[in-house]
């Protein structure tokens, strides 16, 4: 069976690898002239690293990925520990696969390098498609046409494929913007930063930092609430001085990191409401194209990676009924991704509580370890194994 994947982001490329591993004939079409990702970090939890390792990427990831020792939540002003949950060794022992911090470009390069030559077509922007019942024809803006048994829209939050299948509405602004950037680790040596995911919670905003690129760079994400986003672009160069001013009064460690920043992007955060369906006939969706979420569970890309593995399992078992296989795929995936979309949105409120009784209650729950980050509580997320679905189908 042949599959056209539209979009060469983390979702599209990891899906292509899962589909190739299942024996399908896959081609990826990406609108950009070169593959690229934002200059920023990404957290890859074991539910996603399980898929990537099984695709043979373990060694490639190990070259640049950082394994954080812990997930450390702290209070915005005095830096008090609110919760510290182990990652690294204990997590790997429990879930069988690592938690990684990576530069996005390193992850995308590892995915692309594993795809055989001639299967990624750059400079191809999907303009439209026609599902003829026995095959799907994709039309690209450069005049190229491609025919395949199934078409997968992995074309991101502003998905053309989704708009054509279901919903031409724009994604919704979540009321949050993020300053993002990377700082050379050498510049921050005086802070003796531990190798953890540090999440600083404060009124109306939060700050995240972790090392990437074999500890050479520190990635930061500084999220603040805003009533509106008026610019045309979702990403723009931000002024590091504005980011620093937004974190006035915060702990010296947070401010010292922002003071070391040369360059930052300001990024408006959008999401979408869960969809009831992802597929029509021989066409389906994957990743941000169907379940864009706030990044406050660090699961958008992880879920895209799971999507690809589940899709491959369903299509490998299609027995000539591609539309039926796509319905099984969406039925397996939608409850899980919808839950994560909701949890990510709830974390906006939880992370940004103003100081007061509700915040004290949250902090007490964090101290008691009853907020979802213990291994038992998070097992529903990290234990997930798309290969088990393949076994069930088989």
Ligand X SMILES: Cc1cc2nc3c(=O)[nH]c(=O)nc-3n(C[C@H](O)[C@H](O)[C@H](O)COP(=O)(O)OP(=O)(O)OC[C@H]3O[C@@H](n4cnc5c(N)ncnc54)[C@H](O)[C@@H]3O)c2cc1C
Find out whether 317 and 325 touch, Cβ atoms under 8 Å: yes
What does the DSSP 8-state code read for residue 204? T
Cβ partners under 8 Å of residue 389, min gap 6:
310, 313, 314, 332
The CA distance from 191 to 287, in Å, is: 37
User: Between residues 306 and 363, which has the closer beta carbon with respect to ligand X?
Assistant: 306
If the CB atoms of residues 86 and 295 are measured against ligand X, the closer one turns out to be: 295
Q: Which of 4, 5, 11, 107 binds ligand X (CB under 6 A)?
A: 11
**In this chain, which of 4, 18, 43, 198 binds ligand X, going by CB under 6 A?**
43
Kindly state whether residue 316 participates in binding ligand X, applying the rule CB under 6 A.
Answer: no
Q: Which stretch binds ligand X (CB under 6 A): 30-38, 82-90, 235-243, 328-336?
A: 30-38
382 is catalytic: no
- Binding window for ligand X (CB under 6 A); candidates: 76-84, 90-98, 128-136, 283-291: 283-291
Q: For residue 182, give the 3-state DSSP assignment.
A: strand
Smallest gap from residue 132 Cβ to ligand X (A): 20
125 binds ligand X (CB under 6 A): yes
Contact set for ligand X, span 284-313 (CB under 6 A): 287-289, 295, 298-302, 304
Which one of 99, 179, 210, 329 is the catalytic residue?
210
In the block, residue with structure tokens 């101290």 = 367
Q: Among 22, 26, 29, 70, which residue sits at the site for ligand X (rule: CB under 6 A)?
A: 29
Backbone dihedral region of 384: left (phi > 0), alpha (psi from -120 to 50 degrees) or beta?
Answer: beta
Residue 12 is a binding residue for ligand X (CB under 6 A): yes
The strand pairing partners of 71, in sequence order, are 85, 197
Answer yes or no whether residue 266 interacts with ligand X by CB under 6 A: no
Whole-number Å distance between alpha carbons of 83 and 29 = 43
Alpha-carbon distance 6 to 121, whole Å?
10
Query: In the complex with ligand X, which residue's Cβ is closer, 324 or 339?
Result: 339
Q: Does 30 bind ligand X (CB under 6 A)?
A: yes
Select 43 or 279, whichever has its Cβ closest to ligand X.
Answer: 43
- Location of structure tokens 């939890």: 45
Q: Compare residues 134 and 232 and give the one whose CB is closer to ligand X.
A: 232
Burial 35-65 (b: 16+ CB within 10 A, else e): bebeebbbbbbbbbbbbbbbbebeebbeebb
Backbone angles phi, psi at 355, to 5 degrees: -60, 135
Q: Which is nearer to ligand X, 214 or 393 (CB)?
A: 214
Contact set with ligand X (CB under 6 A)? 6-12, 29-32, 42-43, 125-126, 154-156, 160, 178, 180, 221, 267, 269, 287-289, 295, 298-302, 304
Instruction: Point out the residues that are catalytic.
Output: 210
């Amino acid at each position: 069976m042949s599959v056209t994947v539209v979009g060469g982001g983390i979702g599209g490329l990891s899906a292509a690898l899962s589909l190739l591993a299942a024996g399908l004939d896959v081609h990826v079409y990406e609108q950009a002239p070169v593959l690229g990702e934002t200059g920023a970090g990404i957290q890859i939890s074991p539910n996603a690293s399980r898929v990537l390792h099984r695709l043979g990427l373990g060694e490639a990831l190990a070259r640049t990925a950082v394994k954080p020792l812990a997930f450390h939540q702290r209070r915005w002003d005095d830096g008090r520990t609110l919760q510290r949950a182990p990652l690294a060794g204990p997590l790997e022992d429990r879930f069988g696969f690592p938690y990684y911090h990576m530069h996005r470009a390193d992850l995308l390069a590892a995915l692309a390098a594993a795809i055989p030559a001639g299967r990624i077509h750059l400079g191809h922007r999907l303009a439209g498609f026609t599902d003829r019942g026995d095959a799907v024809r994709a039309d690209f803006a450069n005049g190229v046409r491609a025919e395949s048994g199934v078409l997968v829209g992995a074309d991101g939050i502003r998905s053309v494929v989704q708009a054509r299948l279901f919903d031409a509405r724009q994604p919704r602004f979540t009321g949050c913007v993020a300053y993002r950037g990377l700082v050379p680790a050498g510049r921050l040596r005086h802070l003796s930063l531990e190798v953890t995911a540090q999440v600083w919670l404060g009124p109306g905003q939060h700050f995240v930092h972790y090392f990437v690129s074999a500890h050479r760079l520190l990635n930061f994400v500084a999220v603040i609430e805003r009533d509106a986003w008026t610019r045309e672009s979702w990403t723009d160069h931000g002024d590091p001085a504005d980011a620093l001013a937004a974190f006035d009064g915060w702990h010296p460690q947070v401010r010292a990191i922002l003071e070391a920043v040369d360059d930052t992007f300001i990024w408006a955060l959008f999401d979408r409401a869960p969809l009831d369906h992802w597929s029509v006939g021989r066409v389906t969706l994957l990743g941000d194209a169907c379940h864009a979420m706030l990044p406050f569970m660090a699961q958008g890309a992880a879920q895209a990676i799971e999507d690809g593995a589940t899709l491959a399992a369903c299509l490998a078992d299609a027995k000539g009924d591609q539309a039926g296989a796509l319905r099984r795929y969406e039925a397996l995936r939608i409850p899980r991704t919808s839950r994560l979309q909701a949890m990510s949105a709830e974390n906006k409120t939880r992370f940004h509580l103003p100081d007061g009784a509700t915040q004290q209650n949250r902090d007490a729950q964090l101290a008691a370890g009853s907020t979802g980050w213990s291994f038992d509580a998070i097992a529903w997320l990290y234990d997930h194994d798309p290969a088990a679905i393949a076994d069930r189908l088989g």
